[in-house]
Amino acid sequence: MSEEIIDNDNAEELYEHHRFVADKGQNPLRVDKFLLNFLENTSRNKIQIAAKAGSIRVNEKPVKSNYKVKADDIVQVVFPHAPRQLEIIPQDIPVPIVYRDADVIVVNKPPGLVVHPGYGNYKGTLVNALLHIMQTLPMGSADDRPGLVHRLDKNTSGIMVAAGTELAMTSLAQQFFDRTTEREYIALVWGDVEEDEGTIIGNVGRSLKNRKVMSVFPEGDYGKHAVTHYKVLERFGYVTKVACKLETGRTHQIRVHMKYLGHPLFNDNEYGGDKILKGTSFTKYKQFIANCFSICPRHALHAKSLGFIHPSTKEFMRFNSELPDDMTAVIEKFRAYTHKR
């Protein structure tokens, strides 16, 4: 039996993918027992929940927990990410709720809010807020990412979904893994994007020079496969408003892909967008950009919409949000500035 483990902790989604190939001498064995033999610290109940959510697949097809594994079968299972143990205190933090039921909660995350506890951010996060709202979340209040199957950067605003039950969490994790979710972002980027629409394909991984940021590796020799589709929505000469749809969800994917295209996000201090990249050297223009940076003191990126299949009803649901005030104000300023030119 051979095994491949893909831990997606460094990506935007939060799940673990295990892949096993049964030996040629494998006698027929229930898939839940088969997995239990090889997955340490995993309960049979957790495996059966994964089967119920359609997250156990044999030879690319979903199977029930009583499926009999045979020789040469390829068995794959997706679990929500197993987090570190950390006590989390529920906190009454204002977070706009877009939708809520027993299975899922959809929120419009404001910019500046860290998604989950971590080094230097043990409280005041979205998870603290969700625990206050939902009172209980799957994976237990002692975990550092209860309910989460994906995340947004601290300074990225917009739509996020969290799970209210373990079954919902497993189902959503599988959908992110299968890339069946639909995600659209709105970004303001430097420069006049040449094509009206296009696709950026390039592996994304930790920079070999600065581990705090990501880089694109077009030769595919490092990092993980990443695909971003973009479409120009409005042109302002010096900057462009674009819509981006994610086919994959890598860390900083849109930010690093747009930089690779030659158009870093406006005021993105980690990818070179926090200085004048396009425009004149006139003092008035410099002051105009400084005012824009002050109005939107973060990278200009908003998760506008998210679509997924509801874990219980199986209905496809799509949630939308308006651009936040800071991005709207900067876009209005550029619209007026362009009109005066």
Burial class (CB in 10 A: 0-12, 13-18, 19+), 332: exposed
Give the pLDDT confidence of 209-262 residue by residue, as tens digits: 887 899 999 988 889 999 999 999 999 999 999 999 999 989 999 999 999 999
pLDDT at site 83: 52
The per-residue pLDDT for range 145-200, each reduced to its tens digit, is 788 889 999 999 999 999 999 999 999 999 999 999 999 999 999 999 999 999 99
Q: What's the whole-number average pLDDT of the chain?
A: 89
According to CATH, the topology of domain 97-178 is Pseudouridine synthase (3.30.2350)
Closest C-alpha to 268, from 299, 303, 293, 295: 299
Report which secondary-structure segment, H or E, holds 15: strand 15-21
CB 14 within 8 A of CB 7: no
Pick from 25-29, 106-110, 130-134, 336-340: least confident: 336-340
Q: Does domain 183-340 have CATH number 3.90.1150.10?
A: no
Residue 81 has pLDDT above 70, yes or no: no
CATH hierarchy code of domain 2-80: 3.10.290.10
Say yes or no: do domains 97-178 and 183-340 share a fold.
yes
Neighbour order of strands in the sheet with 74-80? 2-7, 15-21, 74-80, 56-58, 61-62
Confidence class of residue 202 from pLDDT cuts 50, 70 and 90?
very high
How much is the pLDDT for 144?
A: 61
Between the two ends of the chain, the Cα-to-Cα distance in Å is 68
Q: What number is the average pLDDT over the span 321-329?
A: 97
Q: Which one, of 295, 298, 290, lies nearest residue 266 by Cα?
A: 298
Choose the catalytic residue: 143, 144, 153, 268.
Answer: 153
Confidence of residue 281 (pLDDT cuts 50, 70, 90): confident
H helices within 165-309, ranges in order?
A: 166-178, 253-261, 283-295
Residue 325 a catalytic site member = no
Give the pLDDT band (50/70/90) at residue 37: confident
Q: What is the DSSP letter of 67?
A: -
User: Is the confidence at residue 10, as pLDDT, over 70?
Assistant: no
Per-domain boundaries in the chain: 2-80, 97-178, 183-340
**Tell me, what's the pLDDT at 210?**
84
Best CA proximity match to 183, nearest among 150, 208, 210: 150
Say yes or no to pLDDT of 7 above 70.
no
- Which residue in 296, 306, 299, 305 sits closest to 334, CA to CA? 296
User: How far apart are the C-alpha atoms of 97 and 114, rounded to whole Å?
Assistant: 16
CA angle 201/203/207 to nearest 5° reads 130
Instruction: Compute the average pLDDT of residues 129-140.
Output: 80
Q: Where is pLDDT greater, at 185 or 86?
A: 185
